[in-house]
Structure 1
Amino acid sequence: MINFLLSFTVSERVLACMGLAVILLAAIFGIIPDAVAHGVTEGDKGYIQESTGILPIPFIYLGAKHMITGYDHLLFLLGVIFFLYRLKDVCIYVTLFAVGHIITLLSGVLLEVNISPYFIDAIIGFSIVYKALDNMGAFQRWFGFQPNTQAATFIFGLVHGFGLATKIMEYELSPDGLLPNLIFFNIGVEIGQILALVAILIAINYWRKSDSFMRQAYSANTFMMMLGFLLMGYQITGHFVYSFQI
Protein backbone atom coordinates (compact mmCIF):
# COMPACT_ATOMS: atom_id res chain seq x y z
CA MET A 1 0.00 0.00 0.00
CA ILE A 2 2.85 2.39 0.87
CA ASN A 3 4.64 1.68 -2.42
CA PHE A 4 1.36 2.25 -4.25
CA LEU A 5 0.92 5.67 -2.63
CA LEU A 6 4.54 6.59 -3.27
CA SER A 7 3.95 5.98 -6.98
CA PHE A 8 1.60 8.99 -6.99
CA THR A 9 2.69 12.58 -7.48
CA VAL A 10 2.59 14.86 -4.44
CA SER A 11 -0.72 16.40 -5.49
CA GLU A 12 -2.23 12.97 -6.12
CA ARG A 13 -1.20 11.92 -2.61
CA VAL A 14 -2.91 14.99 -1.18
CA LEU A 15 -6.10 14.12 -3.09
CA ALA A 16 -5.88 10.46 -2.06
CA CYS A 17 -5.43 11.37 1.62
CA MET A 18 -8.37 13.78 1.49
CA GLY A 19 -10.52 11.09 -0.12
CA LEU A 20 -9.49 8.42 2.38
CA ALA A 21 -10.19 10.77 5.27
CA VAL A 22 -13.68 11.54 4.01
CA ILE A 23 -14.41 7.85 3.38
CA LEU A 24 -13.27 7.04 6.91
CA LEU A 25 -15.54 9.72 8.34
CA ALA A 26 -18.46 8.47 6.28
CA ALA A 27 -17.81 4.91 7.44
CA ILE A 28 -17.62 5.94 11.08
CA PHE A 29 -20.80 7.98 10.91
CA GLY A 30 -22.57 5.22 9.04
CA ILE A 31 -21.80 2.78 11.85
CA ILE A 32 -22.58 5.07 14.78
CA PRO A 33 -26.16 6.41 14.45
CA ASP A 34 -25.76 9.17 17.07
CA ALA A 35 -22.88 10.67 15.16
CA VAL A 36 -24.67 11.21 11.86
CA ALA A 37 -24.55 14.59 10.18
CA HIS A 38 -25.72 17.30 12.56
CA GLY A 39 -25.95 14.75 15.33
CA VAL A 40 -24.89 15.38 18.91
CA THR A 41 -22.83 12.88 20.88
CA GLU A 42 -24.30 11.29 24.00
CA GLY A 43 -22.02 13.31 26.27
CA ASP A 44 -22.97 16.59 24.63
CA LYS A 45 -26.62 15.55 24.58
CA GLY A 46 -26.63 15.03 28.34
CA TYR A 47 -24.91 18.36 28.93
CA ILE A 48 -27.37 20.22 26.71
CA GLN A 49 -30.36 18.70 28.45
CA GLU A 50 -29.06 19.46 31.95
CA SER A 51 -27.68 22.95 31.36
CA THR A 52 -29.53 26.06 32.50
CA GLY A 53 -28.64 29.73 32.44
CA ILE A 54 -26.30 31.58 30.11
CA LEU A 55 -23.19 29.49 29.36
CA PRO A 56 -20.92 31.26 26.82
CA ILE A 57 -17.81 29.06 26.79
CA PRO A 58 -19.54 25.63 26.70
CA PHE A 59 -21.88 26.61 23.87
CA ILE A 60 -19.09 28.27 21.88
CA TYR A 61 -17.14 25.02 22.25
CA LEU A 62 -20.13 22.92 21.17
CA GLY A 63 -20.69 25.13 18.12
CA ALA A 64 -17.05 24.93 17.05
CA LYS A 65 -17.04 21.16 17.59
CA HIS A 66 -20.19 20.81 15.51
CA MET A 67 -18.65 22.60 12.54
CA ILE A 68 -15.24 20.91 12.67
CA THR A 69 -16.80 17.44 12.90
CA GLY A 70 -19.66 18.23 10.49
CA TYR A 71 -18.38 16.40 7.43
CA ASP A 72 -21.44 17.42 5.40
CA HIS A 73 -20.67 21.09 6.09
CA LEU A 74 -17.03 20.61 5.17
CA LEU A 75 -17.82 18.77 1.93
CA PHE A 76 -20.20 21.52 0.85
CA LEU A 77 -17.74 24.28 1.78
CA LEU A 78 -14.98 22.44 -0.09
CA GLY A 79 -17.21 22.45 -3.15
CA VAL A 80 -18.02 26.14 -2.69
CA ILE A 81 -14.39 27.30 -2.53
CA PHE A 82 -13.00 24.69 -4.96
CA PHE A 83 -12.56 27.19 -7.80
CA LEU A 84 -12.42 30.40 -5.75
CA TYR A 85 -8.94 31.88 -5.97
CA ARG A 86 -9.44 35.31 -4.38
CA LEU A 87 -9.79 35.68 -0.63
CA LYS A 88 -12.52 38.27 -1.19
CA ASP A 89 -14.66 35.74 -3.08
CA VAL A 90 -14.08 33.08 -0.43
CA CYS A 91 -15.24 35.51 2.27
CA ILE A 92 -18.38 36.46 0.32
CA TYR A 93 -19.50 32.87 -0.25
CA VAL A 94 -18.65 31.68 3.24
CA THR A 95 -20.50 34.66 4.72
CA LEU A 96 -23.59 33.88 2.64
CA PHE A 97 -23.51 30.31 3.88
CA ALA A 98 -23.00 31.42 7.50
CA VAL A 99 -25.83 33.97 7.40
CA GLY A 100 -28.23 31.37 6.01
CA HIS A 101 -27.11 28.89 8.65
CA ILE A 102 -27.63 31.37 11.48
CA ILE A 103 -31.09 32.48 10.30
CA THR A 104 -32.61 29.02 10.20
CA LEU A 105 -30.82 27.70 13.27
CA LEU A 106 -32.15 30.53 15.42
CA SER A 107 -35.62 30.71 13.88
CA GLY A 108 -36.00 26.93 13.70
CA VAL A 109 -35.32 26.47 17.41
CA LEU A 110 -37.08 29.61 18.71
CA LEU A 111 -40.19 29.09 16.56
CA GLU A 112 -40.06 25.29 17.05
CA VAL A 113 -40.32 24.54 13.33
CA ASN A 114 -40.76 20.78 13.10
CA ILE A 115 -39.34 19.25 9.92
CA SER A 116 -38.14 15.67 9.54
CA PRO A 117 -34.38 15.62 10.22
CA TYR A 118 -34.00 12.83 7.67
CA PHE A 119 -35.62 14.99 5.00
CA ILE A 120 -33.40 17.97 5.84
CA ASP A 121 -30.23 15.89 5.92
CA ALA A 122 -31.15 14.31 2.58
CA ILE A 123 -31.37 17.82 1.10
CA ILE A 124 -27.99 18.59 2.66
CA GLY A 125 -26.60 15.56 0.85
CA PHE A 126 -28.19 16.92 -2.33
CA SER A 127 -26.46 20.28 -1.73
CA ILE A 128 -23.11 18.48 -2.01
CA VAL A 129 -24.23 16.77 -5.23
CA TYR A 130 -25.44 20.11 -6.60
CA LYS A 131 -22.18 21.91 -5.88
CA ALA A 132 -20.08 19.13 -7.35
CA LEU A 133 -22.17 19.19 -10.55
CA ASP A 134 -21.87 22.98 -10.62
CA ASN A 135 -18.08 22.73 -10.37
CA MET A 136 -18.07 20.19 -13.19
CA GLY A 137 -20.00 22.58 -15.47
CA ALA A 138 -22.92 20.16 -15.72
CA PHE A 139 -25.68 22.78 -15.72
CA GLN A 140 -24.13 24.66 -18.62
CA ARG A 141 -23.82 21.47 -20.66
CA TRP A 142 -27.22 20.04 -19.76
CA PHE A 143 -29.44 23.12 -19.61
CA GLY A 144 -27.42 25.87 -21.25
CA PHE A 145 -27.41 28.23 -18.27
CA GLN A 146 -25.50 28.81 -15.06
CA PRO A 147 -27.51 29.05 -11.81
CA ASN A 148 -26.70 31.92 -9.46
CA THR A 149 -23.99 30.39 -7.29
CA GLN A 150 -24.27 33.00 -4.54
CA ALA A 151 -28.02 32.52 -4.21
CA ALA A 152 -27.56 28.73 -4.15
CA THR A 153 -24.93 29.02 -1.40
CA PHE A 154 -27.25 31.16 0.72
CA ILE A 155 -30.24 28.84 0.17
CA PHE A 156 -28.26 25.75 1.07
CA GLY A 157 -26.92 27.61 4.11
CA LEU A 158 -30.56 27.95 5.21
CA VAL A 159 -31.02 24.20 4.77
CA HIS A 160 -27.85 23.35 6.71
CA GLY A 161 -29.05 25.58 9.57
CA PHE A 162 -32.38 23.78 9.69
CA GLY A 163 -30.50 20.50 9.84
CA LEU A 164 -28.92 21.44 13.15
CA ALA A 165 -32.09 23.10 14.47
CA THR A 166 -34.02 19.83 14.06
CA LYS A 167 -31.40 18.03 16.17
CA ILE A 168 -31.24 20.70 18.87
CA MET A 169 -35.01 20.66 19.34
CA GLU A 170 -34.88 16.94 20.08
CA TYR A 171 -32.89 17.70 23.25
CA GLU A 172 -35.31 20.26 24.69
CA LEU A 173 -32.96 23.05 25.73
CA SER A 174 -33.85 24.92 28.88
CA PRO A 175 -35.68 28.20 28.14
CA ASP A 176 -33.42 29.82 30.75
CA GLY A 177 -30.75 31.51 28.63
CA LEU A 178 -31.94 29.86 25.41
CA LEU A 179 -31.40 32.79 23.03
CA PRO A 180 -27.97 33.83 24.37
CA ASN A 181 -26.82 30.21 24.34
CA LEU A 182 -27.95 29.80 20.72
CA ILE A 183 -26.04 32.97 19.81
CA PHE A 184 -22.93 31.67 21.56
CA PHE A 185 -23.39 28.37 19.76
CA ASN A 186 -23.41 30.23 16.43
CA ILE A 187 -20.28 32.12 17.40
CA GLY A 188 -18.66 28.75 17.99
CA VAL A 189 -19.90 27.54 14.61
CA GLU A 190 -18.20 30.50 12.93
CA ILE A 191 -14.97 29.90 14.83
CA GLY A 192 -15.04 26.25 13.81
CA GLN A 193 -15.82 27.23 10.23
CA ILE A 194 -12.83 29.56 10.09
CA LEU A 195 -10.50 26.90 11.49
CA ALA A 196 -11.81 24.30 9.04
CA LEU A 197 -11.56 26.69 6.11
CA VAL A 198 -7.96 27.57 6.94
CA ALA A 199 -7.02 23.89 6.81
CA ILE A 200 -8.99 23.34 3.58
CA LEU A 201 -7.51 26.41 1.91
CA ILE A 202 -3.96 25.42 2.83
CA ALA A 203 -4.48 21.95 1.37
CA ILE A 204 -6.25 23.06 -1.79
CA ASN A 205 -3.84 25.95 -2.50
CA TYR A 206 -0.95 23.50 -2.21
CA TRP A 207 -2.80 21.18 -4.60
CA ARG A 208 -3.47 24.01 -7.08
CA LYS A 209 0.26 24.54 -7.53
CA SER A 210 0.41 21.19 -9.31
CA ASP A 211 0.20 21.16 -13.09
CA SER A 212 -2.28 18.29 -12.83
CA PHE A 213 -4.79 20.17 -10.65
CA MET A 214 -7.28 20.89 -13.44
CA ARG A 215 -7.05 17.32 -14.70
CA GLN A 216 -7.72 15.95 -11.22
CA ALA A 217 -10.41 18.51 -10.35
CA TYR A 218 -13.09 16.73 -12.37
CA SER A 219 -12.36 13.40 -10.67
CA ALA A 220 -12.36 15.05 -7.25
CA ASN A 221 -15.77 16.61 -7.83
CA THR A 222 -17.10 13.32 -9.18
CA PHE A 223 -15.98 11.69 -5.95
CA MET A 224 -17.56 14.48 -3.91
CA MET A 225 -20.82 14.02 -5.84
CA MET A 226 -20.71 10.30 -5.02
CA LEU A 227 -20.38 11.09 -1.31
CA GLY A 228 -23.34 13.46 -1.57
CA PHE A 229 -25.45 10.67 -3.05
CA LEU A 230 -24.21 8.39 -0.27
CA LEU A 231 -25.42 10.86 2.36
CA MET A 232 -28.77 11.20 0.59
CA GLY A 233 -29.21 7.44 0.48
CA TYR A 234 -28.25 7.07 4.13
CA GLN A 235 -30.84 9.62 5.26
CA ILE A 236 -33.62 8.35 2.99
CA THR A 237 -33.00 4.82 4.27
CA GLY A 238 -33.02 6.13 7.84
CA HIS A 239 -36.40 7.78 7.22
CA PHE A 240 -38.02 4.56 6.05
CA VAL A 241 -36.43 2.49 8.82
CA TYR A 242 -37.64 4.99 11.44
CA SER A 243 -41.12 5.10 9.90
CA PHE A 244 -41.29 1.31 9.93
CA GLN A 245 -40.29 1.17 13.61
CA ILE A 246 -43.08 3.52 14.71
Structure 2
Amino acid sequence: MCSTLLADRKHVLRASPTYRLFWIFLTFGLFGMSADVLAHAVAEGDKGYIQEITGVNLIAFMYLGAKHMVTGYDHLLFLLGVIFFLYQMKHIAIYVSLFAVGHSTTMLLGVYFNIGINSYIIDAIIGLSIVYKALDNIGAYQRWFGFQPNTKAATLIFGFFHGFGLSSKIIEYDISPDGLVPNLLAFNVGVEIGQLIALAMILIAISFWRKTDGFFRHAYTTNVAMMSAGFLLFGYQLTGYFVA
Protein backbone atom coordinates (compact mmCIF):
# COMPACT_ATOMS: atom_id res chain seq x y z
CA MET A 1 0.00 0.00 0.00
CA CYS A 2 1.20 3.47 -0.77
CA SER A 3 2.46 5.40 2.23
CA THR A 4 0.44 8.20 3.77
CA LEU A 5 3.46 9.78 5.36
CA LEU A 6 4.74 12.99 3.89
CA ALA A 7 8.04 12.54 5.70
CA ASP A 8 8.82 9.48 3.60
CA ARG A 9 8.72 11.43 0.36
CA LYS A 10 12.16 12.70 -0.55
CA HIS A 11 10.90 15.50 -2.80
CA VAL A 12 9.09 17.39 -0.05
CA LEU A 13 10.34 20.96 0.21
CA ARG A 14 9.59 23.78 2.56
CA ALA A 15 6.40 25.62 1.67
CA SER A 16 6.72 29.13 0.29
CA PRO A 17 5.69 32.09 2.45
CA THR A 18 2.57 32.52 0.30
CA TYR A 19 1.35 29.05 1.11
CA ARG A 20 2.25 29.37 4.76
CA LEU A 21 -0.36 32.12 4.87
CA PHE A 22 -3.01 29.72 3.55
CA TRP A 23 -3.68 28.03 6.88
CA ILE A 24 -3.81 31.41 8.63
CA PHE A 25 -6.53 32.62 6.27
CA LEU A 26 -8.37 29.32 6.65
CA THR A 27 -8.26 29.59 10.44
CA PHE A 28 -9.60 33.15 10.48
CA GLY A 29 -12.18 32.17 7.90
CA LEU A 30 -13.48 29.44 10.18
CA PHE A 31 -13.61 31.91 13.06
CA GLY A 32 -15.89 34.01 10.89
CA MET A 33 -18.30 31.18 10.20
CA SER A 34 -21.70 31.15 11.86
CA ALA A 35 -22.46 29.03 14.89
CA ASP A 36 -24.93 26.91 12.91
CA VAL A 37 -22.29 25.98 10.36
CA LEU A 38 -19.71 25.03 12.96
CA ALA A 39 -22.29 23.10 15.00
CA HIS A 40 -22.64 20.38 12.32
CA ALA A 41 -26.43 20.76 12.45
CA VAL A 42 -29.05 19.75 9.93
CA ALA A 43 -30.32 22.87 8.14
CA GLU A 44 -33.21 24.60 9.89
CA GLY A 45 -35.62 23.99 7.00
CA ASP A 46 -34.68 20.32 6.88
CA LYS A 47 -35.12 20.09 10.64
CA GLY A 48 -38.71 21.30 10.39
CA TYR A 49 -39.38 18.89 7.52
CA ILE A 50 -38.01 15.92 9.48
CA GLN A 51 -40.17 16.79 12.47
CA GLU A 52 -43.39 17.20 10.49
CA ILE A 53 -43.50 14.32 8.02
CA THR A 54 -44.74 10.81 8.80
CA GLY A 55 -44.75 7.57 6.87
CA VAL A 56 -42.27 6.32 4.31
CA ASN A 57 -40.57 9.11 2.33
CA LEU A 58 -37.63 7.44 0.61
CA ILE A 59 -36.73 10.08 -2.01
CA ALA A 60 -36.93 12.92 0.48
CA PHE A 61 -34.67 11.19 3.00
CA MET A 62 -32.21 10.16 0.29
CA TYR A 63 -31.97 13.81 -0.74
CA LEU A 64 -31.46 14.95 2.87
CA GLY A 65 -28.72 12.36 3.38
CA ALA A 66 -26.87 13.33 0.21
CA LYS A 67 -27.20 17.02 1.02
CA HIS A 68 -25.78 16.50 4.50
CA MET A 69 -22.71 14.69 3.25
CA VAL A 70 -21.95 17.07 0.37
CA THR A 71 -22.25 20.11 2.67
CA GLY A 72 -20.65 18.47 5.71
CA TYR A 73 -17.33 20.30 6.08
CA ASP A 74 -16.08 17.91 8.77
CA HIS A 75 -16.73 14.79 6.68
CA LEU A 76 -15.10 16.39 3.65
CA LEU A 77 -11.99 17.46 5.55
CA PHE A 78 -11.58 13.97 6.99
CA LEU A 79 -12.08 12.35 3.57
CA LEU A 80 -9.53 14.74 2.06
CA GLY A 81 -7.04 13.72 4.73
CA VAL A 82 -7.73 10.02 4.20
CA ILE A 83 -7.11 10.04 0.45
CA PHE A 84 -4.44 12.75 0.40
CA PHE A 85 -1.57 10.34 -0.29
CA LEU A 86 -3.59 7.44 -1.74
CA TYR A 87 -2.97 7.02 -5.47
CA GLN A 88 -4.44 3.62 -6.35
CA MET A 89 -8.23 3.27 -6.61
CA LYS A 90 -8.24 -0.02 -4.70
CA HIS A 91 -6.64 1.68 -1.70
CA ILE A 92 -9.05 4.61 -1.92
CA ALA A 93 -11.97 2.16 -2.12
CA ILE A 94 -10.80 0.29 0.98
CA TYR A 95 -10.46 3.38 3.16
CA VAL A 96 -13.63 5.06 1.94
CA SER A 97 -15.53 1.81 2.47
CA LEU A 98 -14.23 1.54 6.03
CA PHE A 99 -15.35 5.10 6.72
CA ALA A 100 -18.76 4.37 5.15
CA VAL A 101 -19.25 1.20 7.21
CA GLY A 102 -18.40 3.02 10.43
CA HIS A 103 -20.50 6.08 9.59
CA SER A 104 -23.52 4.02 8.48
CA THR A 105 -23.45 1.62 11.43
CA THR A 106 -23.56 4.18 14.21
CA MET A 107 -25.94 6.49 12.38
CA LEU A 108 -28.52 3.73 11.87
CA LEU A 109 -28.11 2.03 15.25
CA GLY A 110 -27.85 5.31 17.13
CA VAL A 111 -31.19 6.57 15.85
CA TYR A 112 -32.99 3.20 15.95
CA PHE A 113 -31.96 2.46 19.54
CA ASN A 114 -32.10 6.12 20.59
CA ILE A 115 -28.43 6.24 21.58
CA GLY A 116 -27.66 9.91 21.87
CA ILE A 117 -24.31 11.51 22.66
CA ASN A 118 -23.90 15.14 23.60
CA SER A 119 -23.54 16.88 20.24
CA TYR A 120 -20.76 19.18 21.46
CA ILE A 121 -18.67 16.23 22.68
CA ILE A 122 -19.14 14.13 19.57
CA ASP A 123 -18.41 17.07 17.27
CA ALA A 124 -15.26 17.84 19.28
CA ILE A 125 -14.11 14.25 18.68
CA ILE A 126 -14.88 14.66 14.97
CA GLY A 127 -12.64 17.74 14.99
CA LEU A 128 -9.88 15.61 16.52
CA SER A 129 -10.35 13.03 13.75
CA ILE A 130 -9.29 15.72 11.27
CA VAL A 131 -6.29 16.57 13.47
CA TYR A 132 -5.33 12.89 13.66
CA LYS A 133 -5.35 12.44 9.90
CA ALA A 134 -3.41 15.63 9.21
CA LEU A 135 -0.72 14.60 11.71
CA ASP A 136 -0.60 11.16 10.13
CA ASN A 137 -0.09 12.71 6.70
CA ILE A 138 2.92 14.74 7.84
CA GLY A 139 4.51 11.73 9.54
CA ALA A 140 4.21 13.16 13.06
CA TYR A 141 3.58 9.88 14.87
CA GLN A 142 6.73 8.19 13.65
CA ARG A 143 8.88 11.26 14.28
CA TRP A 144 7.45 12.11 17.70
CA PHE A 145 6.50 8.75 19.15
CA GLY A 146 8.33 6.19 17.02
CA PHE A 147 5.26 4.26 15.94
CA GLN A 148 2.66 4.32 13.18
CA PRO A 149 -1.05 3.91 14.11
CA ASN A 150 -3.12 1.39 12.15
CA THR A 151 -4.62 3.73 9.58
CA LYS A 152 -7.41 1.35 8.55
CA ALA A 153 -8.57 0.80 12.13
CA ALA A 154 -8.42 4.53 12.81
CA THR A 155 -10.52 5.29 9.71
CA LEU A 156 -13.18 2.80 10.82
CA ILE A 157 -13.20 4.05 14.41
CA PHE A 158 -13.50 7.69 13.43
CA GLY A 159 -16.22 6.64 10.98
CA PHE A 160 -18.17 5.41 14.03
CA PHE A 161 -17.83 8.83 15.64
CA HIS A 162 -18.89 10.66 12.49
CA GLY A 163 -22.02 8.47 12.38
CA PHE A 164 -22.84 9.21 16.01
CA GLY A 165 -22.49 12.91 15.22
CA LEU A 166 -25.35 12.69 12.75
CA SER A 167 -27.51 10.28 14.76
CA SER A 168 -27.31 12.58 17.78
CA LYS A 169 -28.70 15.43 15.67
CA ILE A 170 -31.50 13.32 14.21
CA ILE A 171 -32.53 12.12 17.68
CA GLU A 172 -32.81 15.74 18.81
CA TYR A 173 -35.35 16.34 16.02
CA ASP A 174 -37.67 13.57 17.27
CA ILE A 175 -38.20 11.83 13.93
CA SER A 176 -41.54 10.05 13.56
CA PRO A 177 -41.49 6.29 14.32
CA ASP A 178 -43.90 5.77 11.41
CA GLY A 179 -41.65 4.62 8.57
CA LEU A 180 -38.53 5.06 10.68
CA VAL A 181 -36.53 2.08 9.40
CA PRO A 182 -37.03 2.60 5.63
CA ASN A 183 -36.54 6.35 6.03
CA LEU A 184 -33.28 5.82 7.91
CA LEU A 185 -32.08 3.35 5.27
CA ALA A 186 -32.97 5.84 2.54
CA PHE A 187 -31.14 8.59 4.42
CA ASN A 188 -28.09 6.38 4.69
CA VAL A 189 -28.20 5.57 0.97
CA GLY A 190 -28.32 9.31 0.36
CA VAL A 191 -25.32 9.83 2.63
CA GLU A 192 -23.33 7.28 0.63
CA ILE A 193 -24.40 8.87 -2.67
CA GLY A 194 -23.34 12.25 -1.30
CA GLN A 195 -20.04 10.77 -0.18
CA LEU A 196 -19.37 9.42 -3.67
CA ILE A 197 -20.19 12.81 -5.21
CA ALA A 198 -17.94 14.63 -2.75
CA LEU A 199 -15.18 12.05 -3.20
CA ALA A 200 -15.35 12.40 -6.98
CA MET A 201 -14.95 16.19 -6.73
CA ILE A 202 -12.04 15.84 -4.29
CA LEU A 203 -10.32 13.25 -6.47
CA ILE A 204 -10.67 15.38 -9.60
CA ALA A 205 -9.20 18.42 -7.85
CA ILE A 206 -6.36 16.57 -6.13
CA SER A 207 -5.51 14.62 -9.30
CA PHE A 208 -4.90 17.86 -11.18
CA TRP A 209 -2.95 19.24 -8.22
CA ARG A 210 -0.71 16.17 -8.05
CA LYS A 211 0.36 16.77 -11.65
CA THR A 212 1.81 20.17 -10.77
CA ASP A 213 5.38 20.72 -9.60
CA GLY A 214 4.18 22.36 -6.40
CA PHE A 215 2.17 19.46 -4.96
CA PHE A 216 4.82 18.09 -2.60
CA ARG A 217 6.05 21.59 -1.87
CA HIS A 218 2.63 22.65 -0.59
CA ALA A 219 1.31 19.36 0.80
CA TYR A 220 2.81 19.99 4.24
CA THR A 221 1.20 23.41 4.52
CA THR A 222 -2.15 22.04 3.37
CA ASN A 223 -2.11 19.41 6.09
CA VAL A 224 -1.10 21.99 8.68
CA ALA A 225 -4.10 24.06 7.55
CA MET A 226 -6.31 20.99 7.88
CA MET A 227 -4.92 20.29 11.35
CA SER A 228 -5.54 23.91 12.37
CA ALA A 229 -9.14 23.64 11.20
CA GLY A 230 -9.58 20.45 13.23
CA PHE A 231 -8.18 22.07 16.38
CA LEU A 232 -10.42 25.09 15.82
CA LEU A 233 -13.51 22.90 15.53
CA PHE A 234 -12.43 20.95 18.62
CA GLY A 235 -11.98 24.12 20.66
CA TYR A 236 -15.22 25.63 19.41
CA GLN A 237 -17.24 22.56 20.39
CA LEU A 238 -15.61 22.27 23.82
CA THR A 239 -16.35 25.94 24.45
CA GLY A 240 -19.96 25.32 23.48
CA TYR A 241 -20.15 22.36 25.85
CA PHE A 242 -18.99 24.38 28.86
CA VAL A 243 -20.93 27.52 27.97
CA ALA A 244 -24.24 26.02 26.82
TM-score (norm 2): 0.87
2:78 paired with 1:76: yes
Contiguous gaps of at least 5 residues in structure 1: 1-11
TM-aligned CA deviation for residue 35 of structure 1: 3.3
Match of 2:30 among 8, 26, 32: 26
> Contact (CA 8 Å) 1:37, 1:70: kept in 2 or not?
no
Amino acid at match of 2:194: G
> Contact (CA 8 Å) 1:128, 1:224: kept in 2 or not?
yes
TM-score (norm 1): 0.87
> Contact (CA 8 Å) 1:22, 1:71: kept in 2 or not?
no
> Contact (CA 8 Å) 2:58, 2:186: kept in 1 or not?
yes
2:242 paired with 1:240: yes
Amino acid at match of 2:171: M
Indicate the SS of the match to 2:42. coil
Match of 2:198 among 196, 213, 221: 196
Amino acid at match of 2:152: Q
> Contact (CA 8 Å) 1:117, 1:167: kept in 2 or not?
yes
2:238 paired with 1:224: no
Alpha-carbon RMSD: 2.0
Query: Relative to structure 1, is the Cα distance of residues 237 and 230 closer, same or farther in structure 2, using a 3 angstrom cutoff?
Result: same
Query: Relative to structure 1, is the Cα distance of residues 66 and 235 closer, same or farther in structure 2, using a 3 angstrom cutoff?
Result: same
> Contact (CA 8 Å) 1:25, 1:71: kept in 2 or not?
no
Identity %: 64
Residue number in structure 2 paired with 1:4: none
For residues 1-246 of structure 1, the aligned pairs below 5 Å read 26=30, 30-31=33-34, 33-242=35-244
TM-aligned CA deviation for residue 34 of structure 1: 3.2
State how many pairs are aligned.
226
> Contact (CA 8 Å) 1:38, 1:66: kept in 2 or not?
no
Residue number in structure 1 paired with 2:11: none
TM-aligned CA deviation for residue 38 of structure 1: 3.0
